[in-house]
Amino acid sequence: MTVSAAKSTKAREALALWSATKRKTIFAPLLDTFDLLVRDRFALAGMIIIGLFLLVALFGHMIAPYDPTQTLRSPDGGLARLQPPSMRHWLGTTAYAKDVLSQLLVGTRVAFIVGISAALVVGFISTLLGLLSGYYGRYVDDIIMRFTDFAMSIPTLPIAIVAVAILGSSLRNIIIVIALLFWRNGARIVRSVVLTEKEKVYVQAARAAGASHTYIMVTHILPNVIPVAFLWMTMSTAFAILAEASLSFLGLGDPNTTSWGQMLNIAFTTGSSRTAWWWVIPPSLCLVLLISSIYVVGRAYEEKTNPKLRKA
Amino acid sequence: MQSREAPSSPTLIGRKPPVHLQVEDLRVQYRVAKGYLIAVDRISFEVSPGQTIGLVGESGCGKSTVGKAILRLLPEDAIVRGKVLLDGDDVLKMSDRELRSIRWTKLALVTQSAMNSLDPVYRIGDQIVESIVAHEDIAKAQAWARAEELFELVGISTERLRDYPHQFSGGMRQRAVIAMALSLNAGLLVADEPTTALDSIMQDQVLSRIRELQDAFHRSMILVTHDIGVVAETCQTVAVMYAGSIIEIGPTAVVLAEPFHPYTMGLRNAFPRIDDERHELISIPGTLPNLINPPQGCRFAGRCPFKTEHCEHVAPPLIQVGEGHRSACHYPERVVEFRARAQERQTWNGTQADIPTPVGAL
Amino acid sequence: MTAADATMHQPAAGGTAPTEGNPDPVIAASGLTKHFTIGGGLIASMLGKPGRVVKAVDGVDLAISQGEVFGLVGGSGSGKSTLGMTLVRLHRASAGTIRFRGRDVTNSRGAELKKYRREAQIIFQDPYGSLNPRLTIAQVVEEPLRIHGVRDKAERALRVVEALERVLIAPAEYLHRYPHELSGGQRQRIAIARAIVLEPKFIVADEPVSMLDVSVQAGILELLEKLSREMGLAILYVSHDIATVRYICDRVAVMLHGRIVEYGDAREVTSYPAHAYTRRLMAAVPSVDPAEKRKRLEMLNSLSSPAGATAGGGSEWIALGADHFVRHDAPHDVDR
């Protein structure tokens, strides 16, 4: 056998060995913790609840008995206003003769849209800024961090109110405003993880081998950043839903959409809050349930990924 | 290069009586998915007052576990059996309160990572004084004087007592921790790789100081390390451990000059000898066997160049091979031949290289 | 070594810097200096407290030839690790030059620096931290190949397998494993495989065995020496333990407070240490045989001091032999 032929047989053998190796993807840490999470009873309950809400968000409009915006009439011909729960309206009707249950179901979708979109934007901005700031250090870090400090000194809700009032209350604007307020802490958290990772010896080794900054950030640092970023995004989802509900409750919500906060807003502004319990309690309960579930899952996830928080 | 005089100040005179430690049939196991991981398998040895014994072996042989078992510092899921008799009282059966009263006063511990366990928000001097005052009824000023002397002992200038841990280099922190461990004059000091983080000059300094203290004040010590050079310089007795058992034990000078067990011979070969020009560095190929459901016969058989069928099936007991010297090998009568062959490189080439045993089994 | 031999070594006039007398070195440093500033920063400087300057490496001259293993010995804080890291450009030199095969790489950037990085590699002290725990052994060793654009998967596979075989790790058994499944010694072999996979010309081994069991050290040292011979590598072996130097090093330099104080043929320097600090290092080496150690200490105590010799021509080096030089300065207090 010639040298090159021998080499190519060897190369083929090597390649065969190579293909047998399994590697972890960049998202592997998330999947691993998912297994652990399922075993925690609270987290499991939380995930089931979120799952149910998610189903409603996806298919709510199909199972809703009525069009949430449609003014309904009662069998005797008059407007079906403020009717308590009955067989026809399981959760009763609003002061404007709209079905509460249908509104509730459709409102779920709004909650998820706001929550997830805001979280994605927050995640992206936090990760980007935290990564750049932590990795490059010195001037870049100084500038970004001073900017973050400044941003953090701005009180969340008042500014949100002002911003939405100025920009106009559409769902898109609300999402943007929320995202722009929640990236602050996220960036700090990501940055501190990056600072730790940057000092690891294998990062030095990669540098010495000639790796570019981008390569190091993506291959060595990002995998450890993702769990943290993901955690922050989870928490942000909960906060975003709450923020949207708050804004809507204050009357700054998107008038074209039905959200839980919106429902509460109308209930209160029509003065029906004391009497129409079927109108007030369901959306409140849904908010509490969904936000708490997200929070519980987030906390369980944090406990699983941060060994120091685990009870021995 | 000249030895310093042993400190004779009143604050350092060991007011505590020397202790006697008897370890009997100590066993430590962990329950793991595939069965039981046997970290320590029936170890017995004795430490008389004033005696220094070294526990030598490679990483994972169980030596650190023994040290921690004696101090009851193992994690909760460790299954510990046997007896550890400190002046006749079984440490393994003591209540938390009894343990607290003997820790630091009768038993003290220095670990490799101890330098990272210093509290960063308190000055080092304050931390030493605090631990002294917590266990002894002496005035703070006296405790401080003792801390100063200890710092002198480990070669750090006493004004550094007012510094915080982060102002010390790694080596200095380790020395400070050693000073802290010595501060209460405990009768028995368990030192787990105390000088591994130090460079050779600092190691030499610290070891000779510890040796002086031992000699002057009749303290006992168990020194756990992978470095037989450290043991040779500080311990009168050495116990060589392999895969959870003691495979050779005896007076250090004798064991190192005239080893009976092939593993001890191998360890000696691997040790760099600056004084012997002709010495070749030979390492022992292979790694520790699987400690989960371990093999029947001699644990070292897989890597031993002199193994026989018998070795693979029957575990050799520790038998007397000299005065105070025991070895766990089936063939003590062939020791002269073994010693000669062990010095040749090709003897060790025949053994199995790199057995792929997953090390992270816990 | 006997007392009689030691006194036969009379200092000769004149001396050469470590870089002279070396015709075609793979790597050469000249006046290499690295300073760190502690404290300081913009505001502090404005307030008049510009921070302390620590001279980790203070004017070092060095030259290593192809196939040579050059030992660099010193205590902690001597600057030896900093020197090694500066040579592979993990630190930027504050002053002085680094020449790699004649090219000045001291301040290279971009593509030029990457080219240098292909030929100069480093092995770190910590086998537990130097491998990314999320990557398989295969990924760890192939990383330098990917960084330098070796696109063909088959070629990468081949080179990784060859590198692993060179370091005596069976590829079939270990390619798919993760670092936590390996012992310290095995991990260090993987680190070495990673360092040689690009077939570099120069490797800095920064205390490669300090964190390993003594029983495992021999194997790694033997491996380094073998690779140096087989691959013609120039290796800078950094260590605090002068005892290991004799086994694999051709030449050795002793470093103290950022400067080289003695250098030369490894056997010469370890047999007839001239500088007080070198003698201190030799005395500190533990020994399994107390009788041998006593003899060694007596020997060291009895060696004559070179301080009385004259250094010709204003050179700072005193030549004690064909390849043995000690720095001519007042024997200062080496205690820290």
Q: In this complex, is the C-beta atom of B276 within 8 Å of any C-beta atom belonging to chain C?
A: yes
The residue segments making up the domain with residue C275 are: 3-37+54-327
pLDDT of residue B357 exceeding 50, the answer is no
Q: What is the average pLDDT across B227-247?
A: 92
Q: How far is Cα B154 from Cα C32, in angstroms, rounded to an integer?
A: 34
Which of C181, C213, C288 is closest, CB to CB, to B59?
A: C213
In one letter, which amino acid is B290?
N
Q: Using a CB-CB distance cutoff of 8 angstroms, which residues of chain C are in contact with residue B268?
A: 288
| CA atoms of A246 and A111, how far apart (whole Å) | 12
Separation of alpha carbons A93 and A103, rounded Å: 10
Tokens 């004795």 map to which residue? B46
Cα C32 to its chain centre, rounded Å, is 14
Residue C40 is predicted with a pLDDT of: 58
Note whether residue C334 is domain-resident: no
Beta strands in B48-110 (DSSP E): 52-56, 78-86, 89-90, 107-110
Q: Which of residues C6 and A258 earns the better pLDDT score?
A: A258
pLDDT in tens, A75-84: 877 787 888 8
Which residue, C190, C191, C64, C68, is CA-closest to C124?
Answer: C191
Which residues of chain A have a CB within 8 Å of the CB of C172? 17
Q: How far apart are CA B229 and CA B203, in angstroms?
A: 11
A173 pLDDT band, cuts 50/70/90, is confident
Shortest CA gap A53–chain C (Å): 35
Domain ranges of chain A: 27-309
| Chains interfacing with C (3 or more CB pairs < 8 Å) | A, B
* Amino acid code (one letter) for A206: A
Q: What is the pLDDT of residue B187?
A: 83
**By the CB < 8 Å criterion, does B166 face chain C?**
no
- Residue A21: what pLDDT? 63
Q: What CA–CA distance (Å, rounded) separates C182 from C317? A: 46
Distance of CA C282 to the CA centre of its chain: 18
Share of chain B above pLDDT 70, in %: 92
The Cα–Cα gap between B238 and B206 comes to 19
Query: Which H or E run contains B44?
Result: strand B35-47
* Highest mean pLDDT out of A9-13, B212-216, B282-286, C132-136: C132-136
Identity of the residue in C88, C132, C157 whose CB atom sits nearest the CB atom of A208: C88
Q: Which pLDDT belongs to residue C22?
A: 63
- Average pLDDT value for residue range C28-46: 77
CATH label of the domain that carries residue C289: 3.40.50.300
C215, C222, C240: residue with CB nearest B200:
C240
- Name, of A104-118, A139-153, B341-355, C302-316, the range with top average pLDDT: A104-118
Q: Which of B201, B232, B285 sits opposite C280 (nearest CB)?
A: B201
Q: Does C2 touch chain B if contact means CB atoms closer than 8 Å?
A: no
Window B:51-70, CB contacts with C under 8 Å:
58-60
Q: Do A11 and C122 touch (CB under 8 A)?
A: no
Find the residue in C nearest to A20 (Cα).
Answer: C176
Residue C95 in this model has a pLDDT that exceeds 70: yes
Residue A249 has, within 13 A of its CA and on its CB side, a CA count of 16
Q: How large is the greatest C-alpha to C-alpha distance in chain C, in angstroms?
A: 64
pLDDT at A86 over 70: yes
- What confidence category does residue B361 fall into, taking pLDDT thresholds of 50, 70 and 90? very low
Instruction: Residue A13: list chain C partners with CB under 8 A.
Output: 161
pLDDT above 90 for B248: yes
Least confident of A80-84, B77-81, C15-19, C131-135: C15-19
In chain C, the percentage of residues whose pLDDT exceeds 70 is 84
Could you give the 3-state DSSP secondary structure of residue B36? strand
In a domain, C282, yes or no: yes
Q: Which residue is closest to A138 within chain C, CA to CA? A: C41
Specify the pLDDT at position C200. 95
Domain assignment present for C48? no
- Is residue C105, in this structure, part of any structural domain at all? yes
Q: How many CB pairs under 8 A join A and C?
A: 91
- Find, in chain C, the residue whose alpha carbon is nearest to that of B360: C181
Tell me what percent of the residues of chain C surpass a pLDDT of 90.
47
- Which is nearest to B59 in space by CA: B108, B112, B103, B131? B112
| pLDDT of res. C288 | 84
Tokens describing residue C63 = 């030259």
A138 touches chain C (CB under 8 A): no
Task: Kindly state whether residue C89 falls inside one of the protein's structural domains.
Answer: yes
Residue C47 lies in a domain: no
Question: CA-CA-CA-CA torsion for C98, C103, C105, C107, nearest 10 degrees?
Answer: 110
- Please give the pLDDT value at position C18: 55
Q: Which of residues 201-230 of A touch C (CB under 8 A)?
A: 201-202, 204-212, 215, 219-220, 223
More confidently predicted of B5 and C69? C69
Across the range B300-307, mean pLDDT stands at 88
Quick one: pLDDT at residue B259?
Answer: 94
Confidence of residue C60 (pLDDT cuts 50, 70, 90): very high
Interface of C with B in 55-114 (CB under 8 A): 75-77
Lowest-confidence pick of B224-228, C59-63, C184-188, C332-336: C332-336
Contacting residues for A224 by C-beta, under 8 A, at least 6 apart: A193, A197
In chain C, the number of structural domains is 1
Across C15-34, average pLDDT: 74
- Tell me the pLDDT of chain B averaged across its residues: 83
**Strand ranges of the sheet holding C251-256, from the earlier edge strand across to the other edge:** C120-123, C202-206, C234-239, C69-73, C251-256, C259-265, C324-327, C317-321
> Residue C47: its pLDDT value, please?
72
Do A261 and A109 form a contact (C-beta atoms < 8 A)?
A: no
Token readout for A276 is 């129409």
Is A27-309 in CATH node 3.40.50.10320? no
For testing contact with chain A, the best of C125, C143, C181 (most A CBs within 10 A) = C143
pLDDT tens by residue, A230-245: 888 998 999 899 988 9
CB contact under 8 A, A21 and C175: yes
CA atoms of A301 and A202, how far apart (whole Å): 27
Report H helices in chain A. Answer: 3-19, 28-39, 41-63, 100-136, 138-152, 156-167, 171-198, 201-208, 213-216, 222-249, 260-269, 277-305
Residue C107 lies in a domain: yes
Shortest Cα distance, chain B CAs vs residue C147, angstroms: 29
Sorted by where each starts, the structural domains of chain B and their CATH numbers stand as: 19-241 (3.40.50.300), 258-349 (no CATH)
Residues in chain C closer than 8 A to A207 (CB atoms):
90
Give strand ranges (E) for chain C: 27-38, 52-64, 69-73, 95-100, 103-104, 120-123, 202-206, 234-239, 251-256, 259-265, 317-321, 324-327
Chain B contact set for C247 (CB, 8 A): 272, 281
Interface test with A, best of C37, C156, C161, C202 (most A CBs within 10 A): C161
Beta partners for residue B56, in sequence order: B225, B240
Helix axes A171-198, A156-167, angle to 10 degrees: 140
How much is the pTM?
0.84
Residue range C19-39: mean pLDDT, rounded: 81
**CB-closest option in A15, A201, A210 to C114:** A210
Band the pLDDT of C12: cuts 50, 70, 90.
very low
Confidence of residue A190 (pLDDT cuts 50, 70, 90): very high
Q: Output C322 or C187, whichever has higher pLDDT.
A: C187
Neighbours of C333 (CB within 10 A): 7
How many cross-chain Cβ pairs, B to C, lie less than 8 Å apart?
142
pLDDT at B360 over 50: no
- Chain A residues touching C154 at Cβ < 8 A: 11-12, 14-15
Judge whether residue A93 has pLDDT over 60: yes
Min Cα distance C87 → chain B (Å) is 22
Instruction: Let me know if residue C49 belongs to a domain.
Output: no
> In which band, very low, low, confident or very high, does the pLDDT at A99 lie, cut at 50, 70 and 90?
confident
Give the lowest-confidence range in B215-219, C75-79, C99-103, C186-190.
B215-219
Q: Residue C279 and residue C274: Cα distance in Å, rounded?
A: 7
Contact A202 C155 (CB under 8 A): no
Tell me the CA distances in angstroms from C253 to C63, C116, C318, one per residue in order: 11, 24, 14
The pLDDT value recorded for residue C53 is 83
- Check C284 against B226: CB less than 8 A apart: no
Residue with tokens 């005596």: C168
Contact (CB, 8 A) for B237 and B251: yes
